[in-house]
Structure formats: C-alpha cells, structure tokens
Amino acid sequence: MKSLIFDAGPVISLTTNNLLWTLDYLKDIFKGDFYIPQAVKVELVDRPLASKKFKFEALQVGFRIKKGVLTVVEEQKIKILAEELLELANHSFKIRGNWLRIAHYAEMEVIAAASVLNASAVVIDERTTKLIIEDQSGLARMLEKHMGSKVYTNQANLNKIKNWTKGIKIIRSVELVMVAYEKGIFNKYLPDGEDAARTLVESLLWGVKLHGCALSRQELNDLVRIETSTPVNAVSRPEKDDS
C-alpha cells in the first residue's frame, strides 16, 4: 500500500493557510495512506491543545485524524530507529569543538517511519532535514556559510544516515499545493481578470513559503511561469468538506 509520512511543518503550513482540507482530496488522488508519527501528533495536536496558542489549528488537525485522512503510526521499531538517527544527525557536524544540534526527534521519527514502513515519500518543508537526506555536502556548506566558520563533518555518521535514508523521496507542502492546483481544487478561488491564474498560484506559493517551506524566490517564479502556462483541470468536490 502506498503511503506518505508527514512532518509537522507541512501540516502547520496547510493549516495556517486554511488549506488543510485539501488533504481529503489529495489522499483520494494518491490512493494511499497519509501517516504522522506519534511525536508529530504531539507537536500538532497534544502540545497546542494544552496551551492557548494554536489551539484551533490543533482541533483542525485532530478532526482530520478522527476522519481518517491522517493516521497516527506508533511502532517501537520506529522509535528505536528515530533515537539512533537523532544521535547520528546531532553528532555529524562540529564547529569550534562543539557538535551542532541540527535535528529534532519528531523529524527523525518521520524518517524512521518512512524507512520502517517503506513509504513512498516523506513530506518535509524543513531545509536542514531535506539536505541531510538529499545533499549532505550541501548541508555542510550551508552550515559553514551560516556559522561563518569551518565545519568538521563526521563522515562515518553521515554514511550511516545515508544508508538508512537511501531511496527515501521528499515532497514539500509546495508540491502538494501545486498538485491540488493542477487538479482544479482551487478553481473556485480564481479571481476575475486576465491574470487570474497567476494571482491564484502566487498567493498559494507565497502562502506556503512564508509559513516555512524551503522555497527560493527563483523557484517560486519558475513555478508560477510553469503552472500558469497550461489550463488546470476541474474536479467535482463537495463544498461542505472544504473546512
């Protein structure tokens, strides 16, 4: 069975942009399962429900869990692997004699779940986690630029991470939103005027970019050009579910 494993970031981005409802349609299109690890559920639901901030956002995610759009996965093998990956990631880069803490446990649970469940992809917006899977040398260069100093890399630990993450594909919230756009899910929001499609696409892309998706301005402009060069499809969708 196909599956996607979601990190907290993309779900937060969709929720704060009032787009969480699109997961209902995307899951139907994907014809597979959408999972969140237990640690991600804590970040999205349990912790904000215990505070005053983001409580309504937590209720929206909780509703999608109750509805079966998102499924919480909790396995001991995932937890054990997540702990190992966290230890490796946070002892892979050192600067001025100190190890850089570049990862959090919930992110590592996402990667561990993808490995254990043989998922089709992980949905992650965070640049550092994306780079440690796809471009470790690029991550080292980014850290050096950010810290303004030479970064020592523990290649043995990086190789272990590479072995565990081999074959894992990464999707960002921007890809989810663009699939929804291409399927016509946002057609009802098209404004009047000649630049209607451009206005809609730019609003969607800037929304996810400003809420944490690793998306450069150049990539955003390229996506606007590509997505507005062809007409979108129209899909049938019940208005009552768009919440």
**Going from the N-terminus, what domains does the chain have, and what CATH number goes with each?**
1-173 (3.40.50.1010), 174-241 (no CATH)
pTM for this one? Answer: 0.90
Residue type, 156: A
With H, G, I as helix, E, B as strand and everything else as coil, classify residue 142. Answer: helix
Instruction: Report how far residue 27's alpha carbon sits from residue 183's, in angstroms, rounded to the nearest whole number.
Output: 13
What pLDDT, on a 0 to 100 scale, did the predictor assign at position 6?
97
Predicted confidence at residue 194, as pLDDT, reads 80
* Residue 239 C-alpha from the chain's centroid: 26
Q: How far apart are CA 197 and CA 224, in angstroms?
A: 9
In angstroms, the first-to-last Cα distance of the chain is 27
Give residue 53's pLDDT.
Answer: 87
User: Using CA atoms, how far apart are residues 129 and 18, in angstroms rounded to an integer?
Assistant: 25
Q: Which segments of 104-200 are extended strands (E)? A: 121-123, 152-153, 170-171
pLDDT at 235: 47
Counting as low any pLDDT under 70, the low residues of the chain are 230-243
pLDDT tens, position by position, 90-141: 999 999 899 999 999 999 999 999 999 999 999 999 999 999 999 999 999 9
Angle value at C-alpha 150, between 148 and 151, nearest 5 degrees: 110
115 closest CA partner among 136, 131, 140, 133? 133
pLDDT of residue 239: 44
